[in-house]
Structures are given as C-alpha cells and as structure tokens.
Amino acid sequence: MVMGACIRIVLRTDPDVIMVGELRDEETMATALTAAETGHLVFGTLHTAGAVDTVHRILDVFPDREQQIRAQLAASLAAVVSQKLLPRRDGRGRVGAYEVLIMTAALRNLIREGHTQQIRSFMQTGSRLGMQTMEQAVEMLQRTGKI
C-alpha cells in the first residue's frame, strides 16, 4: 500500500494529528496537503537543504498544478524546520542547528503569488517571530562555544 492511500485510511478515523514519515511522491504530498486543508495537523519530512528548498520541492512535484498547489500550501503550511547535526566543539557528540520558517500573512502571499525567492529575507529579519536561517543558527552555536 502506498503512503497516500494510508493517509486516506487514517483520515477516516478523524485524527487530530497525522505524521507522515516522508513526503516522497505527488500522491502523498497531495493527500497530506488536503488533510492539512481540512483541519488536521500534518507533520511530514522531506530531505532538502533548507526551509526555502522544502517549499520549492513541494511546488516542483506539481508542475502542471503549480498555481493550485501554491494556494493550498499558502493556506495550510504552518512552519518548516530544517535541521543539521554538527560536531560539538568538545568532540562529545553532535548538536542540532535549526532553520525555522514560521508562516505569516506576508509569507502566505509570497507563496501564493510565486515570489518564493523572497522568503529567505523574511526569515533573516523574523527572529521576533521565532524564525532563523541556518546561518544564524550556526552563528549562535559558534558564539555560545558549542561548535
């Protein structure tokens, strides 16, 4: 059974939260977006280089329905968190560096209108909202002596 079909089966149980191990294909992404649009909290993973790349990857899966998917994504996306595990300065394991994109009305408009190249600048200045770029996260870990 494919993941999209599994999500549809889970939706019949009226869950509040759905965790999708990996959003690998068009059917899985489309079903997850529909679930999010209908009020379910959906968590999913993607292997990307960062938060902005995650938005682009989702949009790229649907080239023939890009405008519709932009609207769906703008309406339903709450946040994107991207992580990298970096070696600790003391050599004792790794520490997480997190890039965080929190959706705002302005970011929803950027996605809806196809101006996703501007998302990074919102992240750079959105610290009061809890946003940060990977570069900012790494810089903070360096300042605090963790890496």
| CATH number of the domain to which 86 belongs | 3.40.50.300
124 lies in the same domain as 95:
yes
53 lies in the same domain as 27:
no
End-to-end CA distance of the chain: 43
- The answer to whether the CB of 116 falls within 8 A of the CB of 51 is no
Predicted confidence (pLDDT) per residue in 97-146, tens digit: 999 999 999 999 999 999 999 999 999 999 999 999 999 999 999 999 99
- The answer to whether the CB of 29 falls within 8 A of the CB of 40 is no
More confident site: 138 or 14? 138
97 lies in the same domain as 135:
yes
Beta strands in 24-78 (DSSP E): 41-44
Give the range of the structural domain holding residue 14, as residue numbers without chain letter.
Answer: 1-45
96 lies in the same domain as 31:
no
pLDDT at position 65 over 90: yes
Q: What is the pLDDT of residue 133?
A: 98
Predicted confidence (pLDDT) per residue in 37-54, tens digit: 999 999 999 999 999 999
Q: b vs e for 30-68, b when ≥16 Cβ sit within 10 Å of the residue's Cβ?
A: bbbbbbbeeebebebebeeebbbbbbbebbebbeeeeee
Whether 70 is in a domain gets the answer no
Whether 69 is in a domain gets the answer no
pTM for this one? 0.89
22 lies in the same domain as 59:
no
Instruction: Count up the domains in the chain and report the number.
Output: 2
